[in-house]
Amino acid sequence: MAGIQNPILQQLDLLLLGYGFNFYRAENRLRADDLLIRQKACADLGSAARRINNLAGDFQAQVIPPPTRENPYPPAELSALLGSLNSLAQRISNTAAAIQGLPTPTQDRIWRRLRDEKELLSRLLESDLAFIKQTVEIDRIAASLTVSEIKSPAAVQPLNAAIDELETACATRRRLLEIPT
């Protein structure tokens, strides 16, 4: 940096290399790829949650009768089904938030002493790639549901099973960062 005379180039050099981050190290590329993959998974889950919310709105408009003086409240079983659709959409959104918030090891000497950073990041990346397959499947299942199908509680069972599998994969990924004692 001492050889660079242009102040703009000096600042660029500091931004790229001087503050401890090297864009070209394999570990940094793996970290960036990890974030990109998790963002894609969250986008798929966001799409699935929107589909379920839209389905709940369509269900409310098409199936739940409007209130009348004699029946001001909808039938309990229809209200329960609408509530389960809303809670399913919230569960999908919560899973997306959990995936987005999954930790990645920081760049510090402690991690380097305890673990091989590149190998760990590669394992995390493989785990995150499995998320993509699961989130695409969740979005596909959510897209295939119709108002007439969701009247049966068994219709959303494959979606719940896929979300359970994704939550298990998230827990497995979290365990990768636990330090063995």
What mean pLDDT do residues 133-141 have? 94
pLDDT digits (tens, 9 = 90+) for 44-67: 999 999 999 999 999 999 988 888
**CA 12 to chain centroid:** 34
Asked whether the beta carbons of 85 and 150 are under 8 A apart, the reply is yes
Alpha-helical regions (H) of the chain: 7-13, 26-62, 76-100, 109-114, 117-144, 157-176
The sign one gets for the Cα dihedral 124, 128, 130, 134 is positive
User: Which single residue is written with the structure tokens 């997306």?
Assistant: 96
Question: Which amino acid, one-letter code, is at 12?
Answer: L
Question: What mean pLDDT is predicted for residues 125-147?
Answer: 91
CB atoms within 10 A of CB 178: 7
Is the Cβ–Cβ distance between 28 and 22 less than 8 Å? yes
Residue 105 is predicted with a pLDDT of 73
Q: Is the pLDDT of residue 2 over 60?
A: no
Burial of residue 48 (CB within 10 Å: 0-12, 13-18, 19+) is buried
User: Which sequence spans correspond to the domains of the chain?
Assistant: 25-176
Angstrom distances, CA of residue 87 to CA of 46, 82, 91, 113, 136? 14, 9, 6, 44, 20
